[in-house]
Amino acid sequence: MPLPMQFLIRAARVVDPASAFNGQVVDMLIGNGLIQQIGVNLETNATVQVIEADELHVSTGWVDMRVLAQDPGYEHKEDLTSVCQAAAAGGFTDIAVLPNTQPVVDAKGTLGYVRRMAEGQVVNVHVIAAVTKKAAGEDFTEMLDLHHAGAVAFSDGTHPLQNPDLLLKTLQYLQPVNGLLMNRPEEQLLTSFGQMHEGVQSTLLGLKGMPALAEELMVERDLRLLDYVLGVEHGAWSMESEAKSNLEPLSPNPHAPSSTPPVLHFSTISTARSVELIRQAKAQGMPVSCDVAAHQLVFDDSALAGFDTNLKVNPPFRSPADVAALWAGLADGTIDAIVSDHSPQDAESKNLEFDQAEFGVIGLETVFAAVMTHNQDLPLTQVIEKLTSRPRQILRLLPVHIAEGQPANLTLFDPTATWTYEHTLSKSKNSPFLGQRLTGRVIGTVHHGHFNKSV
């Protein structure tokens, strides 16, 4: 049950570089959905609920940019209520849901259904609308209508845009409304019937591989198309030749977050070359961003030796060198956000031979713990940035700050606590982390005037 409308967060360390209290251990009095007071040893009374824990930390509410909610159409795998409960348990106050439902979110009617079902949930649900009808990659949706109806971004979600002309025209179409195109890079003709990353491990296991080249070609293609659109319309960018310019950084810190929202966002990149291509594009000042799924930071392709279908994902787990490059991309700011890539699949879709099983894992409840358990020296402030301010900037969401008088949109967590992930609030159970001991625990979220305690 939600706690009373007024409560006190006791002795929490603030992790919010934009706050005057960043790094300080403070008390926060929350009432009527607002941060009413911040200080040390604040007085309270018996009517105020006190929230306290060892090593308690507080940040602005976390944002997940890539969630497959499966509602409408596949509610037996997940629905909007269960996905929101799982999100809150994982520390998220905002999620962006993909359009790959049945029907696809390609018209105002379906978008309106999702927004109505999201009313009153414990997290804010932001809808990503489809670029093409039925996400089939053929005919455009009415993107302007969908934008005005509340779509936060546009993507065909689990279906990468294969047609370069569609992608180019989408970039042109969205520019007047400051819209965002999100695309998962994959040349599907190179990955047909693929089961895992193409390499030594796929050869040893006898599984058809999905080459890194399939992702990297599309990253390069999309960057060149963006360069063409912006070059033609603004004369602002040039990617004529790596040899010509050697793509030298244009500033001492080319990977610092830009105040200009990106135009093109790459979802769930997974290879070292993809990281480098995006790093080079950012060094030239191109308005691009990207994210990585938390599970891609944990596993490499050797994890599939046991043919566990809960480890079958797309993009696939890559080589150890690729994983190291992803961590490096997070550290230098090339990778902007960490996402769950939450993809619920029922037992009938996973309890099959490996080559017959569906791709995907659930991850909303374990994003933070997965990153902290396997952290490769990424400072906590940067981990939190990838879950808060950067995804908010990319999605054009209103900024959230920890300050008196501001709305209380907060995540409470202990970065050092260990715990066992024993059960999930998702309707589906396809997680490789179930039963594992993890480090980094979410205490709960403060949102809509209530404290939502994590189970």
With a cut of 80, say whether residue 378 has pLDDT above it. yes
- pLDDT, residue 170, reads 97
Query: How many domains does the structure of the chain reveal?
Result: 1
Going by pLDDT thresholds of 50, 70 and 90, the confidence category of residue 71 is very high
- pLDDT, residue 236, reads 44
Contact 194, 182 (CB under 8 A): no
Lowest average pLDDT, out of 1-15, 50-64, 89-103, goes to 1-15
What is the full DSSP assignment across 343-369?
A: ----HHHHSS-TTTSPP-B--TTTHHH
Lowest average pLDDT, out of 40-49, 278-287, 372-381, 382-391, goes to 40-49
Contact 290, 334 (CB under 8 A): yes
Examine residue 46 and state whether it is found in any structural domain, yes or no: no
Examine residue 40 and state whether it is found in any structural domain, yes or no: no
Contact 295, 364 (CB under 8 A): no
Across the chain, mean pLDDT equals: 93
How many angstroms separate the CA atoms of 385 and 60, rounded? 10
pLDDT tens digits, 191-215:
999 999 999 999 999 999 999 999 9
Examine residue 42 and state whether it is found in any structural domain, yes or no: no
**What is the set of active-site residues?**
341
Examine residue 408 and state whether it is found in any structural domain, yes or no: no
Examine residue 179 and state whether it is found in any structural domain, yes or no: yes
Examine residue 19 and state whether it is found in any structural domain, yes or no: no
- The CATH number of residue 316's host domain is 3.20.20.140
Length of the chain equals 455
pLDDT tens digits, 302-356:
999 999 999 999 999 999 999 999 999 999 999 999 999 999 999 999 999 999 9
Examine residue 362 and state whether it is found in any structural domain, yes or no: yes
Q: pTM of the prediction?
A: 0.93
Place of tokens 């998702």: 426
Place of tokens 């970065």: 415
Examine residue 204 and state whether it is found in any structural domain, yes or no: yes
- pLDDT, residue 64, reads 98
Provide the residue range defining the domain that includes 385. Answer: 61-403+419-432
Encoded tokens for 16? 């919010």
With a cut of 70, say whether residue 117 has pLDDT above it. yes
- pLDDT, residue 238, reads 45
